[in-house]
Amino acid sequence: MSETTDMTDMTDMTDNPYSGLFRLDGRRAVLIGAGGIGHELALGLAAHGAQVICADRDADVARAAAAATGGEPLVLDVTDPAAVERAARDAGPVDVLVHTAATNVRKRILDYSLDEFDRVVGLNLRATFSVVQAFGRGMVERGTGSMILFSSIRGSVVEPGQSVYAATKAGTEQLVKTAAVEFGEAGVRVNAIAPGVVETPLTAQIRNDDAWYTAYATKGALGRWARPSELTGAVVYLASEAAAFVTGSTLFVDGGWTAVDGRFTPPA
């Protein structure tokens, strides 16, 4: 006795509700900080269908990212609150906001100047607050949106010379939680991504020191540094419907750095 398959009973994959779970078609995304990691994020957002506005203080960087994604360049200094307000207004309805811009002065506390303190806090925390406020206002009014702010493993674990940077990243994560609570009833999600060490031009000095490179590489569970492209999936996830019930969270993309208890591997 032969068996036959009724093809009408098979699910048409084109109608599968999960097939487009990570798609961003028709969504307008603003990416602030379009160089290095940001450039890869812009490529990833565009590849999933988003229209990307590539914002950076450096006009050449903004134009390069826009050209690579078919998006729009925007010259923006986020330390200027009025400029941030204008950008949020002129961008039109924004569905996704990704903010990566940050700086660091690597010095021990006793060597830090107040000018350096103000510079790091001014970009990493004050400007981040301005961005959340300006773009969050439009999202709340429209009743939809996903905001993704970049934190760091330094928001949770520290090392000498990272005091102010670490404080700003911890502050960013608390800002994310508060914004998630305040914007949540309007349907707006707010999350953070915390990378570990990433191979970018900004980390070139550290990577060129063999001892430093190895120490950082072996700190994580995967035993290596991240490539900028490896942060893209997390951003696409948080921007998409795949993360529709995720808000107020920090997603660690750190190769297991924060899971490892020190660099020493004891004998079994």
The set of catalytic residues is 165
The structure tokens listed for 132 are 């959340």
What is the Cβ-side half-sphere exposure of residue 137, based on CA atoms within 13 angstroms? 13
Q: Rounded to whole angstroms, how far apart are CA atoms 245 and 238?
A: 10
Distance, CA of 31 to chain centre: 9
Q: How many residues does the chain have?
A: 268
Specify which residues 226 forms β-bridges with.
Answer: 198
User: Cα dist. 207→99, 158, 197, 212, 233 in Å?
Assistant: 25, 19, 10, 7, 24
C-alpha triplet 222, 108, 172: angle, nearest 5°: 60
Token pair belonging to 212: 């430093």
- C-beta separation of 24 from 49 below 8 A: yes
